[in-house]
Amino acid sequence: MDEVQDDDQGRPEPPLAGTEAETLVGFLEFQRATLAWRTGGLDDAQLRAPLHPTDMTLGGMLLHLARVEEGWFTEVVDEQPLGEPWATAPWGQEWQTAHARTGEELRATWRASVERSRDVVQRALDAGGLDATHPAWGGQGHPSLRWVLVHMVEEYARHNGHADLLRQALDGQVGE
């Protein structure tokens, strides 16, 4: 695998010639680092600030992506029940409840979810690789680890586009 290089914002560049698993994980790590960069350096009020006409906030995005990490990697890939607050919270509630948490709490929740997900992915790669499937949607489907990783890259990329707009509206900072 190529030596991992960081870009100007400290994001790890995905490998140019890695294995399939290294490439997928590399792109997911790049997207995670993009979210950390787009939400970094903001105070609680800025993390709570929506951009009209949406009620989406960067704080809500951190909490939402923490929940998505837990859902795909803990519940689907690791086949473990969701812990709190996700087990009893209605889907999407995290967007409305993020304002009740500090930026430090939001970032810590997201980082903890990412760390758990990294552990799950490594164990899954060691155990069955990208082709291993996992029950999802109440047993209605069985996505492979490959599918979950690609889906998570898509999930982060989509929300990072939202984060770019929100951040620019807040303080003028723009990114790629």
Q: What is the CATH number of the domain that holds 161?
A: 1.20.120.450
Would you say residue 97 lies in a domain? Answer: yes
- CA–CA separation, 104 and 99 (whole Å): 12
In tens, the pLDDT along 21-59 reads 999 999 999 999 999 999 999 999 999 999 888 899 999
Q: What is the pTM of this model?
A: 0.92
Neighbours of 156 (CB within 10 A): 24
The verdict on residue 5 lying in a domain is no
Phi, psi of 141 (to 5 degrees): -150, 165
CB atoms within 10 A of CB 167: 23
> What confidence tens digit (pLDDT) does each residue in 67-112 have?
999 999 999 999 999 998 899 999 999 999 999 999 999 999 999 9
What is the secondary structure of 147-175 as a DSSP string?
HHHHHHHHHHHHHHHHHHHHHHHHH----
User: How many domains does one find in the chain?
Assistant: 1
Q: Which structural domain, as residue segments, surrounds residue 41?
A: 20-171
Tell whether 42 is covered by a domain: yes
Residue 176: inside a domain: no
